[in-house]
Structure 1
Amino acid sequence: MKKIISSVTLLIFVLLLTACGNTSGKNNDKKITIAASPAPHGEVLEHAKEEMKKKGYDLKIKTVNDYKVPNKLLDKGDVDANFFQHVPYLKAEKADHNYNIEEVGKVFTTPMGVYSKKYKDIKDIPNGSKIYVSNNPAEEGRFLSFFVNKGLIKIKKGVNIEDAKFEDIVENKKNLKFNNQQGAEFLPKTYNSKEGAAVIMNSNYAIDNGLTPHKDAIAVEGKSSPFANIVAVQKGHKDDKKYQTLIKVLQSKDMKSFIEQKYGQDVIPYQK
């Protein structure tokens, strides 16, 4: 009789543990922890919180101000998603680190700009000048595009500008020197210290440091930039209901209006 009671007690205990585990799984299924750059990414996600709550999801934002960290966190499973990068950067990161990460969808473009405390136009930059850029190899073509568009630099035939590297330069009329020895997060400090002739910065770092790209930059990307920022998740999960719900909220008309009202031309909502 004691053995029967013990067996029943053990069975009840196992069933309770299983039930608790299932409840935890359901709760996790309604929670999304996402790593994001502070501005505008984090601010856009903050705006999305209320709508996600209406749809039954708890959106937790982990602010990260270093481009090398969010994909590490996501690949290890420390966060469910991230929102800070564009597709060329993700491709480079996957090639370098073998990350199992994929895109859910595009949200907006943060136009890159050229900033200078010394010159008002790219063409005014003197011969042999130093241009400070980030150490992100996935954006070398993006840096070069400003000077290609002004006719100051030419790249190899057949190379798309978004894939171009510094070694693809075949003509550099002003013998410009590109310094790519620092992370993107340090470029605002370089700009404020007046080092070099110009600094090329991502708009999120410019905005986060009190700059208005379309007012303060001497050149800025147009709306046709191929570098739209994406929400990314672990491979095999992009079609999960919670991530599809999140991307729909981030691509909604309400979000587009919020972005346009808050950032004007400095953040461009993704157009399907």
Structure 2
Amino acid sequence: MRYKSIVAAVLAAVCLPAMAGCSEVTGVGAQNDDKTIRFVSTNIALYEDTTKVLAEEVKKRGYTLDYKFITDGPALNSAVENGEADATYHQHAAYLQYYDRQFKGNLVAAFDAFTDPSGLFSKKWKSIQDLPDGAVVTAHIEPANFYRPFLMLQDAGLIKLRPGVDPLSITESDIIDNPRHIKIQGLDYALLPKALDDADAGFLYASQAADIGIDFHTALVTESKQNQSPDVIAVKNGQQDTEKIKVLKESYQTDEVKKQLVESFGGKEVVIPAW
């Protein structure tokens, strides 16, 4: 699937599991009192594993974590917007920014959870400088991620972007110098690992690479620290300093949760804790 325009990317993003919309969450918030934190998370193993540990840590502090894992991604942010949940755990900072902009949301990051760094990988080439004329580089088509290969390629000196370009609305037309005629091909998240069989290079998160047995250190180029986008726990603006969210942060940023971030990947340090 070739990347056509930011419009196509936005249309695709509306259907992605991480996107928030108007769906309702059922089964969350049965208890809504001063000692219950209503929490919604995505049903990906890493998030499920750490949420269960988080619940135990919250309990140690005299609170209850009333949590639910949601398959229907559009419900996650709207659950917090609608007051059905106190916090949501499924997105990185750039995605949250995109959500608020695109859907006129009012969510903020209460605190950082971890960073899942990204890189460009290849089964054909040993170095980013080996990419040939007309090389195809795959990218996650969702707008909050599509920009990342562009920045990595620019950092590697292979392309030059228009000064002041907005990362969340980037397109190939924002490349002002591309001597190797590199093509950026936007794909759905689930297709990125398989696309490495055909593309010259492709975008993967460290967690994706680990899932298919690729050592992150073999990336042709990795995202610079300043361009990384940490995963966050998000709340409705104005709620970030409440006692419940302070307890949630204290409970999350513990040695027990940090240990689970490693155990979720079979003992490998794949994602980077934020504390």
Bucket of the pairwise TM-score, normalised by the shorter protein: 0.7 to 0.9
Structure 2 length as normaliser, TM-score? 0.74
Say whether residues 1:136 and 2:139 are aligned partners.
Answer: no
**Matching of residues 63-74 of structure 1 within 5 Å:** 63=69, 70-74=76-80
Structure 1 residues 55 and 197: alpha-carbon distance in aligned structure 2, compared to 1, 3 A threshold: same
Q: Alignment partner of 2:181: what SS? A: coil
Q: Aligned partners of 1:185 and 1:142: how far apart in 2? A: 17
Q: Aligned partners of 2:71 and 2:201: how far apart in 1? A: 22
**Matching of residues 22-61 of structure 1 within 5 Å:** 24-26=31-33, 29-36=35-42, 38-61=44-67
Q: Number of residues paired by the alignment?
A: 243
| Residue number in structure 2 paired with 1:186 | 191
Shift of 1:43: 2.7
Structure 1 residues 185 and 88: alpha-carbon distance in aligned structure 2, compared to 1, 3 A threshold: same
| Residue number in structure 1 paired with 2:201 | 198
Structure 1 length as normaliser, TM-score? 0.74
Contact 2:193–2:212 (Cα < 8 Å) also in 1: no
Contact 1:109–1:225 (Cα < 8 Å) also in 2: no
Contact 1:185–1:205 (Cα < 8 Å) also in 2: no
Q: Alignment partner of 1:266: what SS? A: coil
| Residue number in structure 2 paired with 1:270 | 274
- Match among 178, 181, 191 for residue 175 of structure 1: 181
Structure 1 residues 138 and 41: alpha-carbon distance in aligned structure 2, compared to 1, 3 A threshold: same
- Match among 120, 132, 136 for residue 126 of structure 1: 132
Say whether residues 1:89 and 2:82 are aligned partners.
Answer: no
Q: Which amino acid aligns with 2:272?
A: I
Q: Which amino acid aligns with 1:88?
A: A
Q: Which amino acid aligns with 2:192?
A: L
Structure 1 residues 147 and 217: alpha-carbon distance in aligned structure 2, compared to 1, 3 A threshold: same
Contact 1:39–1:204 (Cα < 8 Å) also in 2: no
Say whether residues 1:110 and 2:113 are aligned partners.
Answer: no
Q: Aligned partners of 1:148 and 1:89: how far apart in 2? A: 21
For structure 2, which runs of at least 5 residues remain unmatched after alignment?
1-29
Of Structure 1 and Structure 2, the greater helix share is in 1
1:76-121 Cα shifts (integer Å, max 9, x gaps): 4454322222222211111111122121011211001222222232
Q: Aligned partners of 2:64 and 2:207: how far apart in 1? A: 25
| Residue number in structure 1 paired with 2:26 | none
Contact 2:121–2:202 (Cα < 8 Å) also in 1: yes
Bigger Cα Rg: 1
For structure 1, which runs of at least 5 residues remain unmatched after alignment?
1-22
Structure 1 residues 219 and 63: alpha-carbon distance in aligned structure 2, compared to 1, 3 A threshold: farther
Structure 1 residues 267 and 90: alpha-carbon distance in aligned structure 2, compared to 1, 3 A threshold: same
Q: Aligned partners of 1:24 and 1:157: how far apart in 2? A: 50
